[in-house]
């Protein structure tokens, strides 16, 4: 399962890179016209997959979530109903809220990655019995659980950034 999650994280990274390249090359509108109607559903799928992945890792694989994992979950889990409802209602107005919530998760994931690589940064904020510096999963030499979460947050931001504006906007 962790290999599947790692491959999905690579797909999320590819989505983000595609959006950035399109924006830098002046082709953001082309990309928006091509996939814009599906971006809310795709962002929902990313958030839902991240949520299921984190639940699988903690409840099935028995990797206890550390404090930083919980903070990442707090940023990711509400995106599922928020974006899901917006996708069903075709409510593009949710974009800003979704981007903001995902943007809260980004620095938490980055900090968690730093703590994994440099355990001395951990300090006293994490539980000594379940430190944030434990690397439970590492795929392809760089994809750990917080890297996968970061990939999801960035993909959600990228997808919502190319979601077409509402007609009232």
The gap from C-alpha 137 to its chain's centroid, in whole angstroms, comes to: 17
Average pLDDT (25-30) is 89
Rg (CA), the chain: 16
Which one of 2.40.10, 1.20.1550, 1.10.3470, 1.10.490 gives the CATH number of domain 2-11+36-161? 1.20.1550
> Higher confidence at residue 91 or residue 80?
80
pTM for this entry: 0.91
pLDDT tens digit string along 85-134? 999 998 888 999 999 999 999 999 999 999 999 988 887 777 788 888 98
Confidence grade of residue 169 (pLDDT, cut at 50, 70, 90) = very low
In this predicted structure, the answer to whether residue 29 has a pLDDT above a threshold of 50 is yes
DSSP string, 9-27: HHHHHHHHHHHHHHHHTT-
pLDDT at 22: 92
Tokens standing for residue 35: 């996939």
Average pLDDT (51-66) is 94
pLDDT at 165: 75
Residue 33 φ/ψ, nearest 5 degrees: -65, -35
Confidence grade of residue 37 (pLDDT, cut at 50, 70, 90) = confident
* Distance (Å, whole) CA 16 – CA 35: 14
Q: Bridge partners of 139?
A: 143
Chain mean pLDDT for the chain: 91
């Amino acid at each position: 399962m962790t290999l599947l999650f790692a491959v999905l994280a690579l797909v999320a990274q590819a989505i983000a890179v595609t959006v950035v390249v399109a924006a830098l090359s002046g082709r953001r509108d082309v990309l928006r016209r091509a996939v814009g109607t599906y971006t809310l559903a795709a962002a929902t799928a990313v958030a839902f997959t991240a949520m299921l992945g984190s639940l699988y890792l903690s409840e099935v694989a028995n990797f206890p979530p550390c404090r930083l994992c919980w903070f990442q979950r707090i940023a990711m889990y509400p995106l599922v109903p928020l974006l899901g409802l917006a996708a069903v209602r075709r409510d593009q107005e949710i974009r800003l809220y979704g981007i903001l919530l995902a943007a809260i998760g980004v620095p938490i994931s980055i900090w968690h990655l730093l703590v994994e690589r440099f355990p001395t940064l951990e300090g006293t904020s994490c539980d000594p019995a379940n430190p944030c510096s434990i690397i439970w999963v590492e795929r392809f030499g760089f994809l750990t659980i917080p890297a996968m979460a970061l990939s999801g947050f960035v993909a959600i931001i990228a997808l919502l950034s190319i979601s077409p504006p509402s007609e009232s906007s």
